[in-house]
Each structure stands twice: as C-alpha cells, then as structure tokens.
Structure 1
Amino acid sequence: MFKMNKLFLIVVGLVLLTIFSTSCKPKQRSRTTGWEYNNPKNGGFEVAQSDEQITGPGLVLIEGGTFTMGSTSETPFYEWDNSPRKVTVSSFYIDQTEVSNIAYLEYIFWLNRVYGQSYPLVVQNALPDTLVWRDRLAYNEPLVQTYFRHPSYQNYPVVGVSWVQANDFASWRSDRVNEGLLIDAGILDFDPDQVDENNFNTDAYLAGQYEGLVKEGKKDLDPNGTGVRNVRFEDGLLLPNYRLPTEAEWEYAALGLV
C-alpha cells in the first residue's frame, strides 16, 4: 500500500511539474521592439515556430558543396568545349528517380478533368511526343503506341517532353503538392469540382484570389479580422515551387558527391 501511494505521489508530482514548467514558458518577444509575438492585443503579428522545411513527396535532400564541373579528361576527339571549373552548389531537393509515365499520366488526367471540356488544346499541348521512338535504323513502332500508356511501362521515365512542357508540369506539381498539404493540415477540404480557372493555384491562394472549400481555416490573430484567414507562406506550411535543376545541380547530384 505504501508503494502504491508513493508511486501515486511521484506521478502527481511529475504532472504538476510539467504543468508548472509549461505555464512558466517565456513568451516570444521581438528583439527589435520588445513587443510580444502572436498576441491579438498588440495587433496580432504572427511568428510561426521555426521548423525545418518538410521534404516533398518523392524528393531527396542533396547537401550543397563545391566540385569540379566539366570534363576532367581528354576526349577521343580532343574536344574542350566543356572546360573544368570549380562550382559551388547550395543544398537542394531533387527527385529520387526520373519523372515516370504514371506521374505524367496523373498530370494529363488532371488537365483533362479540369480543362478538357472548355480548353481541350491545353490537354493536347501537354501530351508527350511519342514519335521520338521512330528511327530509320530501328523498329520501335510498338513503343510509339504502348510506351506512354501501357501499364507495363508506368514506372519507366517519361520521354518526348519538351522544356516548356516540363516547366508546366513542375508548376502543376507545385500547386498539387501545396493543395495536398493544406488538405492534410485541415485547412481546406477536397474539391473534385474544380473546373477551368476555378482550381487551386498557389500564387492565387497566397494573393487571396482563391478560397476553395475551407474546412477549418487558419486562426487569425488580427483583432480586426474575421477570425479565420488563408495560410501565408510565412506559416511554413507551403513548399517552394518545383523547377528544373540547373546544369550544375544536375551534374553534382549525378556524381553522388553527398
């Protein structure tokens, strides 16, 4: 009986200590003005907790560094059009694998669902050029019809995509990833009825030009606000835009200097 009482007292003591330490936690204040952050009484200037950026789906972090970029040995044709030079690359995220057919098919499916009725050319202009498989010295005709759409090739790299199409895909991916983050955070709800211009766009959302199906929204500390607001980039929830890697980033990642 004594042991049980002792254990009970220890547990209660730990709980009280936790509550006391939590209640006595110092509040964040500005080092410039001394004003308290996240306080509606003084205007509600919000400062999010300093967390590391989350890793987007399918990405891997490449730690930056310095390497020798370019050709470091003579070629059989003695071409020196890529002279070696030292290049410093900042840390960045890159896909673990090439963009696959199934990923690009998901992109085409979304375009067709949103723009297919009113703007069919948007879908057509995004389709990859499957004729790249045709060659005078090879019989690749089956790949022209099957490579992009057949399930057997769904995890193979997509081919026949131009630079413009690749950038459009990166913009679309940025919006879909950020929309998914807002849905997972309970800010927005799924909206399968997005059509034409009425679809989630990160820039439009941040500018207040797109609202979507608000589920809970973000608590607004502005005393003159409505109590709910859109997520801002300063909240640390949204990710930066996807883009194509630079030549230096691509070569650095390919060398595996991480």
Structure 2
Amino acid sequence: MKKISLYILVALLVYSCGSNDQGELVGVRSKSTWHTKKPLGMVLIPGGSFTMGKEDEDVAASLNTPTRTVTVRPYYMDETEITNAEYKEFVYWVRDSIVRTQLALLSELMSEDANKVLENYQFKNVDTTKMTPYQKYMMNNYGSLGDVNSPLQGRALNWDEDLIWDPNDFPDEYYSEVMDTMYVPIEDSFDGKRILDTKKLKYKYSWLDRSSAARKKGARKDFIKQEIVEIYPDTTVWVKDFNYSYNDPMHQDYFYHQAYNEYPVVGVTWSQAKAFCSWRTKKKNDFLHSRKNPSSVPAFRLATEAEWEYAARGGLEYSTYPWGGPYTTTDRGCFLANFKPSRGNYAVDGALYTVEAKSYNPNDYGLYNMAGNVSEWTNTAYSEASYYISSTMNPNVEMPKNHRKIIRGGSWKDVAYFLQVSTRDYEYADSARSYIGFRTVQDFLGTNINGE
C-alpha cells in the first residue's frame, strides 16, 4: 500500500513540476494545430437561417410547405451531382474487391504446385515483426485487427497485381474459373459475348443508428445495422420509365460509354446513394490511415431536405429559383436550367435528356444544377406534416419505416414548377429513375456561421 501511495505522489509531483499552467485550469490542449480541409469538388455552405417553404401561391394546393424560419449548421456540398465517372469508381472498386477476394481464397485452397499464377493475388499477411503490442493482442484474441466480421482476418487484399479482364489473356484455368463466376450464365449470353453479372456487385457496410441509440435503452450492438446493397445502377430505367418511346441508345450507353462520364448518374435507388456515401467515407479514411494519420473525416451523407433547400437558395431570401428571379430564361431568352419547357419541347433548352453535371451557371454558393437536370435524393422521409412537427434547428424527419423519400430540384423531364427551390416531391426508396440522381454533403467541424 505504501508503494502505491508513493507512486501516486511521484506522479503528482511530476505533473505539477512539468506543467507551466501555474496551477490554473487551462483545459486539455492538442499537441498539433488542426485546420479544416475542403473536400475535392465540394463547396462550403456557411449555414444560417432562412425562410423555408412556399412564400407565394401553393399551385398544387398540397398545404405541406408552410413558411417558417429554419436554421442549419455549416456543411460542405458537392458542387455538382455525382457523375457517371465518380459512381463508376465505386462500382469498379466493389467489382475488383470481389474478384481479388475470390482469387485469394482459391489460392489458399490450392497446392503450391498448382498455385503458380494465383500466388500473385494472395492475401497480404500482416508483418508480425512490425506489429504493435495492441495489434498482437487483437490478433491473438479476436483473429482480427478490429473488424471481427471480416473474412480477411487481419490480412489485406493485394492491389499491386493488375487484374486481367480479356478472356483471351487469362493466365490459367483457375483464374478463368474465378472470372467465370463474375459473368452471366452462358445460356444468357449471345453473339459470343459474356457480360458482367451486375447482381454480383454487392457492397456490405455497417452503421450505427445514433438517433435511436440516444433515445432508447439497450446495448450498443442492438443499434448497429448491417446493409448489403446491389450497387450497379439500373440502366433499364431509360426504357421502363417511358412507354412507347425509343430510348435504347441511352439504355445501352449512358452509364457504359465514356462520352457520358461527366453526366449525372441516374438509375440509383436511395439505398444505393447511401451506400456510395459510406464507400466515399471509407475511401478517404483508408487513405488517411495508410499515411499513419489516426484521424477520420466526418461521414459523407445525403443532405437533409432543409440543407438542400438552403443550399439551393444560394443565400437569397424569397427567391423562386436558385438564380433568384421568377423566370426560367434570361432577358435574352436563354434558358437557365435543363427541364421541360415550352409545352414539352425538351430540346429547346439545349438538351434532350440530361446535360453534363457542370452546365449552366452556378448559384451564389457555386452549386450547379440545383434546379433541373436530375432530381436529387435527400435523407428526409416525406410526410405531409413534416413542416409542422419537425424542429426549426437542423430539421429532419427520418421515419425508417416510411419508404417515401424526399427528392428535390426537378429534372430534365419536369415542368418549371418542380424546379422551384421550395417545391417538395418524393419517390419510393427502392425506386430507380432515369431522372433521379444525388449529391453528397459532409459536416463542417465547428459551428462558426461564416465557416471560418
């Protein structure tokens, strides 16, 4: 007991002698200076108060958008809708991860003599000589470095070796066997072509339902949700959305061909948009951790309905459209957005379908196509009573069992009414449409209303 007391006394003396706070309460200070970093392709929305809802006539007589003053915190938002090229990166990462995992697992089952080719795709084992004591403890007790549900068990996929996609160049039968599982069955092929089975492309992730955990009693594990999502966009929407209409070229080429790389991705459900947000967060955090940076970025997510409308207004009060005026054309007759004008003359605004994500003039926050082009998923569930029951500070009505999700901004096939910044619309979460896309937001760390 005396020895323990002596240790405590020594610790107190060391702390007192080593600090220069002169015994005053100064708080915990970080050793390094922290500065926020704007994510690539995003703009800072400073946050503040605005009048949300219909200030003029409610043409649809829906009575679900009464005006009220709402305040939102600062956040970053993508300056454009997520493009085909950006979403393809997600698709390719999922595809390659599945293939590399299967190659590595098959390699483990094979003998050394038969494993000459696949050994290049084996898992990267953790270097035990460089393990920290904590890592050794985790591996010995959990067989993992953190994710006990991971089939990799502390190992990493080998991304150094390129994958071979041309069947004529497959190195051996074992490699061919793995690749064969990624394509549609031979009886579903024609013209001698095997195409990728997009239903195999599934992304698995976990998330903590913090809102429910904060309001209900229970173990933390009870609020951890697991999602498995088929992430390939539904390209058939170009056909299914329009009866008796020839849209096969869009069906075949819109997501596939590089000519449409900078166009907004469509045919994604609300769940797929959420999965993309999870992957984008993982991508950034994995990079930081690879650089021995222990910090993590705030999660990318879909905007709430209030955040979306605040950003669309661009700091302008009582504006009808993101550009401020009550008209959809300039004084010279040039259209300000991509929609369905002039009694259905789709092409008169410069585009028959969608346009490139960075088209027309941005609003005063630097955001493109907050009106028209494609409608955008938000994180908010649709309820006629939302504006009456939700808070006026960072309002959001989630309602997990409500599958109607708010979409905003109107699209290339909508009339001008749906382009108005205060117009509400919804679609079912499991629906994919040729006129619905999304953009992401990220919380700004801090509360300074000017974002400084």
TM category, shorter: 0.5 to 0.7
Equivalent of 2:238 in 99, 110, 133: 133
Q: Confirm whether residue 82 of structure 1 aligns to residue 65 of structure 2.
A: yes
Match of 1:68 in 2: 51
Deviation at 1:73, TM superposition (A): 1.3
Alignment of 1:87-126 (within 5 A): 87-116=70-99, 118=102, 121=199, 123=201, 125-126=230-231
Equivalent of 2:308 in 247, 250, 257: 250
Deviation at 1:36, TM superposition (A): 11
TM-score (norm: length of structure 2): 0.35
Offset from partner CA, 1:89-121 (integer Å, 9 cap, x none): 100011111000001111011001112464965
Q: Tell me, yes or no, if the aligned pair for 1:89 and 1:249 is still in contact at 8 Å.
A: yes
Deviation at 1:136, TM superposition (A): 1.0
CA distance in 2, matches of 1:146, 1:31: 70
CA distance in 2, matches of 1:78, 1:122: 45
More helix by share: 1
Closer, same or farther in 2 for the Cα pair 1:33/1:83, shift >3 Å? same
Alignment of 1:181-220 (within 5 A): 181-183=288-290, 186-187=291-292
TM-score (norm: length of structure 1): 0.60
SS in 2 for 1:60: strand
Deviation at 1:76, TM superposition (A): 3.3
For 1:148, give the aligned amino acid: F
Equivalent of 1:151 in 246, 258, 283: 258
Closer, same or farther in 2 for the Cα pair 1:34/1:160, shift >3 Å? same
Match of 1:16 in 2: none
CA distance in 2, matches of 1:181, 1:82: 42
Deviation at 1:59, TM superposition (A): 1.4
Offset from partner CA, 1:115-170 (integer Å, 9 cap, x none): 24649655151101112112115321110110001111000000011111111110
Residue range with higher mean Cα deviation, 48-57 or 62-71: 48-57
SS in 2 for 1:56: coil
Alignment of 1:18-33 (within 5 A): none
Q: Tell me, yes or no, if the aligned pair for 2:288 and 2:294 is still in contact at 8 Å.
A: no
SS in 2 for 1:128: coil
CA distance in 2, matches of 1:32, 1:110: 54
Alignment of 1:41-56 (within 5 A): 47-56=30-39
Offset from partner CA, 1:46-101 (integer Å, 9 cap, x none): 82434222111211110001111111111334332222211101000111110000
CA distance in 2, matches of 1:256, 1:64: 11
Q: Tell me, yes or no, if the aligned pair for 2:238 and 2:251 is still in contact at 8 Å.
A: yes
Closer, same or farther in 2 for the Cα pair 1:182/1:232, shift >3 Å? closer
CA distance in 1, matches of 2:268, 2:26: 53
CA distance in 2, matches of 1:241, 1:137: 42
Q: Tell me, yes or no, if the aligned pair for 1:30 and 1:36 is still in contact at 8 Å.
A: no
Equivalent of 1:165 in 266, 272, 275: 272
Q: Which structure 2 segments of 5+ residues have no match?
A: 1-17, 103-180, 183-198, 203-229, 316-364, 366-452
SS in 2 for 1:243: strand
Closer, same or farther in 2 for the Cα pair 1:83/1:35, shift >3 Å? closer
Q: Which structure 1 segments of 5+ residues have no match?
A: 1-26, 38-45, 188-230
Give the percent of matched residue pairs that are identical in Structure 1 and Structure 2: 37
Q: What CA RMSD, in Å, does the superposition of the two structures yield over aligned residues?
A: 2.9
For 1:60, give the aligned amino acid: V
Residue range with higher mean Cα deviation, 65-74 or 240-249: 65-74
